[in-house]
Every structure is written in structure tokens, then in C-alpha cells.
Amino acid sequence: MTSLTKRQRQVLALAANGNTNAAIAAWCGTRPDSVAAILTAAYRRLGASDRAQAVAIALAVGELGVHEIHIPDQQREAA
């Protein structure tokens, strides 16, 4: 497995926090289709087939840290 690029890691972390491609694009100053392409490349590097699997693999291999995943307040209160 090849390491993720800095941009792939950034976009995957934003996706892991529940952001849509459109929201990620606005945050990064790019277009939603560019975000989709970045995520697809990250999935390929990680050997993942979707967003959830990519996040799980990235966490397991150290590409993302649990400190990068933020629990929304309403979910934290319910737990």
C-alpha cells in the first residue's frame, strides 16, 4: 500500500467527519468533482471500495488519527 498524499489525507479526514463532496470542495476551494477524484485516488491507494472502508483502513494503518474524527455534539450527548 502506498501512503496517501497530503491532499488525499486532508480530503479523507473531511469526509470522515461527515462532510459532503460539495462541502469539502467549498472548504478546500475546489470543485465537487475534484473532491470525488481525490477520494477515488485515496480509495485506490488504500484498497478500499467506499468512503467508510477508506476511513476504517486509514485509521487502522495510521494514515488518519482518531483525533481527526469529531463527534457531533448531539451524538456525543446521546452516547
CA–CA distance from 42 to each of 36, 38, 51, 72, 76 (Å)?
Answer: 10, 6, 9, 25, 29
Select from 67, 68, 61 the least CA-distant residue to 15.
68
Q: What is the pLDDT of residues 28-79, one digit of tens each?
A: 999 999 999 999 999 999 999 999 999 999 999 999 988 888 876 555 455 5
Which letter does DSSP use for residue 18 in this model? T
Q: What is the mean pLDDT of residues 8-16?
A: 96
The CA distance from 17 to 28, in Å, is 15
What is the model's pLDDT at position 77? 55
Alpha helices by DSSP H, the chain: 6-16, 21-28, 32-46, 51-61, 73-78
